[in-house]
């Protein structure tokens, strides 16, 4: 496997061999044996910019210490385990786990962006908002989630602060007043956040038609009219209908439950709390990668059928080691996760 690796481009962004690599733009320069791996890592040198690099330069675990823990940590974190408990289970320091979580999640956010670039025509989408909080329960957050109906693929998520005022004279209202006198008025960015998610739907539809199913919140109707006029048929379903599998909102209700279950920090009545909204967003990107590219669509049924496969975005189910294999910060020039030799870029697979 290691011998088969051919660098697809020069990793130096300023080198012309990065965007348009010529044939044999590199020389082989032997290999080295890292302490954490059994097999040697091949080294290369770009003939154009004379920079040295190795197979590691293309990997997501580039410069990682203890890369063998990345896969197990990913599995713990998308299984609802907290950062601290993951650290205890893997015998790592909590700061190591926090650092690894942010690095892996940022890599997966880019992977999601690189793979999901267009949505097929004439599909139905479901949209809903979850509520959670950061730091303390008087600091609520809204979490809009957009999925595709038949595949259950998570298309977009976001996180934003919202402001909720409790009954006058109540303990919570006094608590919020104390908090706001110290830190300033809590912003409410609910509208901008929902708008951002629907704008992503518009970009991904790229002129295609679709159906959007939501509950009856007036904001959704007005944003749908202004952002997706004539492109998306907006269907509103009463939130009072029984939450059974016959409810048209069933797929998004189930996704919400799955989000609460798989992401410890979204659980109700739990000690796990997001300290910062942006870390919750990273966790959601990690979940979306797991949900779309690795986890099968339903517990019964074809194990190879993940939401991403059903949507036609990836050719097959991706293993966790593949999700965490190649760095994705070169957009569609990054190596596709299903490419084991590393020679095929995202552009070649998506096209």
Q: Which residues bind Zn ion (CB under 5 A)?
A: 10, 12, 15, 17, 46, 48-49
Q: How far is the CB of 62 from Zn ion (least distance, A)?
A: 17
Smaller CB distance to Zn ion: residue 25 or 220? 25
Shortest Cβ distance from residue 334 to Zn ion (Å)? 17
Which residues are within 8 A (CB) of 237 and not within 5 positions of it... i.e. 6 or more apart? 213, 214, 215, 216, 247, 248, 249
- Residue with Cβ nearer Zn ion (46 or 309): 46
Q: What's the rounded Cα separation, in Å, for the pair 90 and 335?
A: 29
| Helix residue ranges per DSSP H, 6-155 | 16-19, 70-77, 83-90, 94-115
CB of 23 to Zn ion, least distance (A): 14
Closer to Zn ion by Cβ: residue 46 or 108:
46
Q: Give the separation between CA 292 and CA 204, rounded to whole angstroms.
A: 16
Name which of 48 and 296 has its Cβ closer to Zn ion: 48
| Shortest distance (Å) from residue 49 CB to Zn ion | 3
CB of 346 to Zn ion, least distance (A): 20
| Least separation in angstroms between CB 282 and Zn ion | 32
Residue (49 or 236) nearer to Zn ion, CB: 49
Q: Which residues are CB-contacts of 122 (< 8 A; sequence separation ≥ 6)?
A: 208, 209, 210
Strands (E), 160-266: 160-161, 210-214, 232-236
Q: Which is nearer to Zn ion, 10 or 289 (CB)?
A: 10
Contacts of residue 319, defined as CB under 8 A and 6 or more positions apart, other chains included, come to 294
Nearer to Zn ion, 51 or 113 (CB): 51
Q: Is the Cβ–Cβ distance between 236 and 215 less than 8 Å? A: yes
Q: Would you put residue 289 in left (φ > 0), alpha (ψ -120 to 50) or beta?
A: alpha
Shortest Å, Cβ 51 to Zn ion = 5
| Identity of the residue, 49 or 254, whose beta carbon is nearer to Zn ion in the bound complex | 49
Closest CB 14 distance from Zn ion, rounded Å: 8
What does the alpha-carbon distance between residue 21 and residue 310 come to, in Å, rounded to a whole number? 33
* Cβ atoms 49, 239 nearer than 8 A: no
Q: Which residues pair with 156 in a beta bridge?
A: 146
Provide CB contacts within 8 A for 184, sequence distance 6+: none
């Amino acid at each position: 496997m290691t011998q088969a690796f051919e660098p697809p481009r020069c990793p130096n962004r300023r080198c012309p061999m990065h965007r348009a690599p010529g044939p044999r733009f590199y020389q082989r320069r032997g290999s080295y044996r890292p302490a954490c791996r059994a097999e040697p890592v091949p080294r290369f040198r770009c003939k154009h910019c004379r920079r040295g690099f190795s197979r590691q330069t293309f990997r997501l675990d580039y410069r990682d210490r203890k890369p063998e823990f990345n896969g197990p940590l990913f599995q713990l974190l998308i299984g609802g385990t907290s950062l601290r408990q993951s650290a205890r289970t893997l015998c790592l320091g909590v700061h190591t786990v926090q650092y690894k979580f942010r690095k892996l999640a940022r890599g997966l956010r880019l992977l999601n962006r690189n793979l999901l670039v267009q949505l097929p025509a004439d599909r139905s989408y479901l949209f809903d908002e979850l509520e959670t909080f950061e730091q303390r329960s008087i600091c609520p957050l809204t979490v809009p989630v957009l999925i595709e109906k038949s595949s259950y693929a998570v298309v977009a998520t976001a996180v934003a602060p919202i402001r909720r005022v409790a009954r006058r004279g109540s303990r919570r209202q006094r608590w919020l007043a104390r908090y706001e006198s110290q830190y300033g008025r809590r912003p409410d960015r609910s509208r901008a956040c929902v708008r951002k998610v629907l704008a992503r739907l518009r970009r991904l539809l790229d002129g295609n038609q679709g159906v959007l199913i939501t509950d009856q919140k007036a904001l959704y109707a007005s944003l749908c009219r202004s952002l997706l006029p004539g492109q998306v048929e907006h269907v509103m379903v009463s939130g009072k209908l029984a939450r059974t599998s016959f409810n048209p909102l069933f797929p998004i209700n189930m996704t919400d439950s799955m989000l609460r279950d798989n992401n410890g920090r979204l659980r109700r009545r739990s000690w796990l709390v997001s300290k910062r909204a942006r870390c919750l967003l990273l966790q959601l990107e990690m979940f979306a990668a797991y949900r779309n590219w690795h986890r099968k669509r339903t517990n019964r049924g074809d194990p190879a059928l993940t939401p991403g496969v059903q949507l036609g975005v990836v050719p097959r189910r991706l293993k966790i080691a593949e999700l965490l294999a190649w760095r994705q910060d070169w957009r569609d020039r990054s190596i596709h996760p299903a490419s084991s030799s590393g020679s095929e870029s995202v552009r070649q697979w998506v096209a």
